[in-house]
């Protein structure tokens, strides 16, 4: 049975982005360009394509420029229109009718789990998605209205199991991610993911940033989640662990033991815009795609 749709999403944006210094010293890393738009623009577009209507940014006092990016700049708007640049002015107000972006503060830097929990007063009793803005999915291939987040929302609606997007990573990158422990070894074949389409199956648990020797698979959490509202109850009970932070993966493990959770294998390619090397590769790729489009 198809249940009510997921219309709420949380995007945590409070982190300082130390891996992106000096670029991120005074400009929030989420506003650094990928081609001709700030990175977070693509993440919000992805959410909207998947049917999200209410986006909650969990921020920090020093990152109010992100909030401003999603607001109307009335002075700029009227100045552009007075000069006859209506098309440009319109393009700055690109959020579709009916989509809202709100901001709440995290207060203390206690980790990703704590950031997601900070959105609870706005999310209320709704089931919701989480998108980590460091991860930008390739918007030039595939179809955001059916792939990845959209697929996960569909899968959630069918059986109410929370969905976590995963993708295969190289051995040397395992220590940077949450790594999935599969419950059924026959699903190992699904580790390939790639362009064959998304697949969703049960997961036994996650290990946050393991050493290679302790990694239960090579399937890493990519930064897209669809959660049943129960995750908030687990987050409110989660204690700090890896890195002294309240980890989202610990709350997911608790959710798994009581309700079961699925992973969805990713379709297409993702970029880590919070890591300097990957960010530079992403910038070149996005710019190249847009230069071709302009020709
Ligand atoms: C977070 C999550 C991790 C996930 C990663 C994806 O880690 O805790 O499970 O694999 O995002 O980017 P962070 O990169 O915030 O340290």
* Annotated domain spans of the chain: 8-294
pLDDT recorded at residue 197: 81
pLDDT recorded at residue 292: 85
Q: Identify which of 223, 224, 249, 263 to mutate to test ligand 1's pocket (most ligand atoms within 8 A of the CB).
A: 223
Instruction: Tell how far the Cα of 247 is from the centroid of ligand 1, in angstroms.
Output: 9
pLDDT recorded at residue 243: 84
User: Contact 240/111 with Cβ under 8 angstroms?
Assistant: yes
Residue 133 in contact with ligand 1 by CB distance below 6 A: no
pLDDT recorded at residue 240: 86
Give the separation between CA 16 and CA 60, rounded to whole angstroms. 9
pLDDT recorded at residue 293: 72
Domain covering 8-294, topology: Spore Coat Polysaccharide Biosynthesis Protein SpsA; Chain A (3.90.550)
List the beta strands (DSSP E) in the chain.
8-12, 33-34, 37-38, 54-59, 100-105, 128-131, 135-137, 162-168, 178-182, 200-208, 219-227, 261-265, 270-272
Q: Identify which of 12, 110, 112 to mutate to test ligand 1's pocket (most ligand atoms within 8 A of the CB).
A: 112
Q: Hey, how many other C-beta atoms are within 10 angstroms of the C-beta on 91?
A: 10
Which residues of the chain fall below pLDDT 50?
1-3, 191-193
pLDDT recorded at residue 2: 47
Instruction: Tell how far the Cα of 160 is from the centroid of ligand 1, in angstroms.
Output: 23
Residue having the nearest C-alpha atom to atom 13 of ligand 1:
177
pTM of this structure: 0.93
Instruction: Tell how far the Cα of 222 is from the centroid of ligand 1, in angstroms.
Output: 7
């Amino acid at each position: 049975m198809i249940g009510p749709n997921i219309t709420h999403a949380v995007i945590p944006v409070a982190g300082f982005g130390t891996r992106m210094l000096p670029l991120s010293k005074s400009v929030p890393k989420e506003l650094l360009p990928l081609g001709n738009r700030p990175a977070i623009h693509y993440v919000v577009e992805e959410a909207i394509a998947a049917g999200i209507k209410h986006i909650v940014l969990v921020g920090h006092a020093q990152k109010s420029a992100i909030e401003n990016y999603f607001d109307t700049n009335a002075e700029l708007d009227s100045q552009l229109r007075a000069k006859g640049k209506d098309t440009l002015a319109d393009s700055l107000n690109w959020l579709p009718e009916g989509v809202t972006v709100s901001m709440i503060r995290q207060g203390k830097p206690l980790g990703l789990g704590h950031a997601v929990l900070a959105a609870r007063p706005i999310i209320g009793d709704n089931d919701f998605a989480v998108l980590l803005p460091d991860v930008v999915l390739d918007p030039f291939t595939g179809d955001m209205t059916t792939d990845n987040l959209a697929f996960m929302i569909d899968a959630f609606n069918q059986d109410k199991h929370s969905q976590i997007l995963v993708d295969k990573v190289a051995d040397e990158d395992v220590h940077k991610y949450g790594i999935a422990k599969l419950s059924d070894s026959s699903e190992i074949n699904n580790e390939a993911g790639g362009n064959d389409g998304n697949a969703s199956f049960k997961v036994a648990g996650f290990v946050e940033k393991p050493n290679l020797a302790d990694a239960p698979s090579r399937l890493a959490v990519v930064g897209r989640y669809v959660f049943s509202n129960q995750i908030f109850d687990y987050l409110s009970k989660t204690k700090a662990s890896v890195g002294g932070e309240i980890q989202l993966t610990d709350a997911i493990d608790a959710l798994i033991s009581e309700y079961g959770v699925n992973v969805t294998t990713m379709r297409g390619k993702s970029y880590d815009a919070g890591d300097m090397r990957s960010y530079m590769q992403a910038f070149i790729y996005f710019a190249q795609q847009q230069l071709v489009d302009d020709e």
